């Protein structure tokens, strides 16, 4: 980040007046450019006890299996974004229940937050979108655990298979910590067992 | 947004190749500038059944009462950000329980998501930070309902006083819709009654 988006003057990285953190600030018009975490939203789509996974057609983790998810866009709610991504990546329509919010992940090392919603597939009409090579339903014993693209996906799947033993699905929040691009720990932070 | 932050060339608002939404794109270096929703994180601080509120020293809603909350920063988890804001705005230290995540609000019209965590005050050592005029504990019957700064705060307080009747605190997600800067509806989207 070198130039002001409003006046094209140079940016300096300094603490603005009244702030306590350094930001990119324009030396001419004083505009401050804040940088904040982004949200990734997705679904855990269920049909007849099986889970829908997508084989990634793009990097990172091309060829690995994931849940449909992507960056939340301006103008949409987290659930709307999750449903959109499910349509884009898996061509799938979903039914949303009253307790759809399921897992949240803080990834402070990469400035992201993930939210997954537990939803039901409306039918078996699904097909790979442009970012997927394949889309497939997996029973628990069929899950390709060693080929799962991201720890947030693995933890969401593990939570689901554990929780469905009791048919109780608390909302769980985890912190995921990275070191040199590798996940070093996933810690349960909040779980509303009621 | 007029100029590229990397090379200072003009930006054009167009759909990048492989995308389906218009973005600000540099006409020289092709860099795409994505804009995504921001997260606001805060706490519902409880002490002896009373709730800590802050009277706002800044616009918007200067002089109105709010829960401590602010923009999530890069490099922190949502809970860390909420604890930091509680320290900054109310000078208060908090204890976090295993089911601290409490309310989430989607505000797609203003490209924000709010998260509130239910926490206990560690002690009565609190004082207004630079963005607060006063900080005060309120019993339910003392809450200044007509002087609450934001609907997300009012809904979080209402949820708390309702839920504590049963001492059950499900995580609830709401959509908040605006028209001409006024909130027109707050809809419950997800509630994990288990």
DSSP string for B48-93:
TTEEEEEEESSSSSTTSEE-SEEEPPTTS-HHHHHHHHHHHHH---
How far does B95 lie from chain A, in Å, by closest CA?
Answer: 13
- Cβ of A171 and B193 within 8 Å? no
pLDDT over 70 (residue A105): yes
CA quadruple A122, A126, A128, A132: dihedral positive or negative? positive
**H or E segment and range at residue A154:** helix A151-163
List the single best residue of A25, A99, A130 to mutate versus B (max B Cβ within 10 A): A99
Which residue of B3, B18, B170 is in closest CB contact with A192?
B170
How many A-B residue pairs are in contact by the CB < 8 A criterion?
156
Interval A143-168: pLDDT, tens: 999 999 999 999 999 999 999 999 99
The whole-number pLDDT of residue B18 equals 86
Residues of A in contact with B76 (CB under 8 A): 108
Q: Answer for the pair A2, B5: CB distance below 8 angstroms, yes or no.
A: yes
Percent of chain A with pLDDT over 70: 99
Those residues whose C-beta lies under 8 Å from the C-beta of residue A53, and which sit 6 or more positions away, are A65, A66, A67, A135, A136, A138, A143, A144
Q: Answer for the pair B50, B138: CB distance below 8 angstroms, yes or no.
A: yes
pLDDT over 60 (residue A194): no
Q: Mean pLDDT throughout A109-130?
A: 97
How far does B76 lie from chain A, in Å, by closest CA?
Answer: 5
CB atoms within 10 A of CB B107: 23
Between CA B13 and CA A193 the distance in angstroms is 47
A12-21 long-range contacts, Cβ below 8 Å, gap at least 24? A18/B130, A21/B73
The whole-number pLDDT of residue B193 equals 67
Domains, chain B, with CATH or none: 1-35 (2.20.70.10), 38-191 (3.90.79.10)
Which residue of A35, A74, A168 is in closest CB contact with B194?
A168
Interval A70-104: pLDDT, tens: 999 999 999 999 999 999 999 999 999 988 999 99
Those residues whose C-beta lies under 8 Å from the C-beta of residue B161, and which sit 6 or more positions away, are B140
Residues of A in contact with B44 (CB under 8 A): none
pLDDT over 90 (residue A193): no
The whole-number pLDDT of residue B181 equals 74
pLDDT, averaged across chain A: 95
Low-confidence winner among A43-47, A176-180, B134-138 (lowest mean pLDDT): A176-180
Q: Answer for the pair B101, B67: CB distance below 8 angstroms, yes or no.
A: no
Interval B123-146: pLDDT, tens: 999 999 999 999 999 999 999 999
Between CA B89 and CA B77 the distance in angstroms is 18
- Terminal C-alpha separation, chain A: 46
Residues of A in contact with B3 (CB under 8 A): 3-8
How far does A130 lie from chain B, in Å, by closest CA?
Answer: 9
The whole-number pLDDT of residue B194 equals 56
The whole-number pLDDT of residue A163 equals 95
Residue-wise pLDDT tens for chain B (194 aa)?
Answer: 999 999 999 999 999 998 989 999 999 999 999 999 999 999 999 999 999 999 999 999 999 999 999 999 999 999 999 999 999 999 999 999 988 999 999 999 999 999 999 999 999 999 999 999 999 999 999 999 999 999 999 999 999 999 999 999 999 999 999 887 788 889 999 998 65
Q: Answer for the pair B64, B148: CB distance below 8 angstroms, yes or no.
A: yes
In this structure, what token pair is assigned to residue B10? 């003009």
List the single best residue of A19, A74, A163 to mutate versus B (max B Cβ within 10 A): A74
Distances in Å between the Cα of A31 and the Cα atoms of A14, A115, B7 are 12, 32, 18
The whole-number pLDDT of residue A192 equals 83
- Cβ of B75 and A109 within 8 Å? yes
What ipTM was estimated for this complex? 0.95
How far does B64 lie from chain A, in Å, by closest CA?
Answer: 21
Q: Report which of residues B105 and A194 the model is more confident about.
A: B105
């Amino acid at each position: 980040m070198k130039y002001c988006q409003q006046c094209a003057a140079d940016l300096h990285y300094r603490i603005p007046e009244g702030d306590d953190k350094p930001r990119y600030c324009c030396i001419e018009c004083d505009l401050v450019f804040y940088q904040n975490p982004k949200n990734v939203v997705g679904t855990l789509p269920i049909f007849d006890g099986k889970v829908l996974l997508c084989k990634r057609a793009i990097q990172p983790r091309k060829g690995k299996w994931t849940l449909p998810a992507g960056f939340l866009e301006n103008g949409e709610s987290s659930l709307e974004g999750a449903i959109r991504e499910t349509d884009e990546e898996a061509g799938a329509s979903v039914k949303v229940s009253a307790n759809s919010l399921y897992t949240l992940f803080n990834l402070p090392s990469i400035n992201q937050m993930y939210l997954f919603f537990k939803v039901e597939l409306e039918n078996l009409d699904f097909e790979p979108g442009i970012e997927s090579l394949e889309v497939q339903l997996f029973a628990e014993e069929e899950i390709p655990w060693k080929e799962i693209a991201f720890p947030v996906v693995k933890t969401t799947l593990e939570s689901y298979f554990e929780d469905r033993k009791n048919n109780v699905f608390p909302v769980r929040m985890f912190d995921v910590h990275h070191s040199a691009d590798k996940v070093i720990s996933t810690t349960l932070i909040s779980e509303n067992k009621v």
